Amino acid sequence: MIIMAAGVSSRMKDSTVPKEISQNLINQSNQRVKGFIQAGEGNEPIIFYIIKNCISAGVKNFYIILSNNSDEFQDYLKKIEIKLSIKIKFGFQDFYGKLKPMGTADAIFQLINQYKKLRNKRFLVCNSDNLYSSHAIKLLLAETKYNSMIAYNFDCLKFSEERLATFSILKIKGKFLERIIEKPDMKIIKSNSKKFVSMNIFSFKGEMIYEYLKHCPISKERGEKEIATALQNMILDNKRSMIVFHLCEHVPDLTFKEDIDKISKFLN
């Protein structure tokens, strides 16, 4: 499993401070990447619970993509590597001298260049700020022929339509992904009665996705190279390259400060 944890969490840092949040969590939300923010009675970072669900699904080997200034996070991950009897390797996303990383497609591309054997391997990818279930991970692990992804029924995610604009809407034909629309506007959102979205959890065949990550264009709106763009280009060339698993379940999402309490209640 590749877990992307090199972002700068700008929306989290800029978000409103809810009344019930502790000063400790305010400090974490302003200083740490989202996957390193503690939640629940166990006071473990979100990434701990993601890794635990991965282990329950059968994953034992992890690649964590970090930024270069992540010594405290690395020290924590080294401890849970021993505690949970797993293997963790670190990849580092170069920001190219900028304040923010170049996006999710760039993160995975850089990791594969650091661990070249991944070009010929099947691997899973997910965010470090969404609490995916073991069931979702098992679905992706069981598929061996195609690239695969989870298509979440938006009605089951318990988010507002405004939050939907931060995800990718999926167009599905039969079992396969036909189109992925990154960061849709409200007109597109309203035009889809039954909405399926990506929460950035995938299984890729390294030899197929690598070239699309390498040649992924930069988004004019965000100035980043996104997985959704690389994926769309792959589908244009190979219509039956990405199989989709429909899932109806809530996925706790850590985007704003108010989400910390929601995830803690879910965990507790």
- Contact (CB, 8 A) for 133 and 249: yes
Question: In a 3-state reduction of DSSP, which class is residue 102?
Answer: coil
Q: Which residues contact 150 (CB under 8 A, 6 or more apart)?
A: 132, 136, 139, 140, 198, 199, 201, 244, 245, 247
Pairing of strands 87-92, 61-66: parallel
Burial state string for 195-208 with b = 16 or more CB within 10 A and e = fewer than 16: bbbbbbbbbbbbeb
pLDDT band at 221 (very low <50, low <70, confident <90, very high): confident
Greater model confidence, 170 or 220: 170
Please write the tens of the pLDDT for every residue from 101-112: 999 999 999 999
Using a pLDDT cut of 90, give the percent of the chain over it: 81
Domain count of the fold of the chain: 1
Q: Which of 209, 248, 251 is nearest to 227 (CA)?
A: 209
**In terms of pLDDT, which residue wins out, 155 or 63?**
63
pLDDT of residue 162: 76
State residue 164's pLDDT score: 75
Domain that holds residue 239: 2-267
Phi, psi of 253 (to 5 degrees): -125, 130
CB-based contacts of 256, cutoff 8 Å, min separation 6: 11, 12, 15, 16
Alpha-carbon span 230 to 211, nearest angstrom: 9
Q: What's 160's domain CATH number? A: 3.90.550.10
- Counting Cα atoms < 13 Å in the Cβ hemisphere of 98 gives 12
Average of per-residue pLDDT values in the chain: 93
Q: Summarize pLDDT for 77-106 with one digit per residue, the tens.
A: 999 999 999 999 999 999 998 988 999 999
What pLDDT does residue 254 have? 93
Q: Indicate the pLDDT class of residue 184, thresholds 50, 70 and 90.
A: low
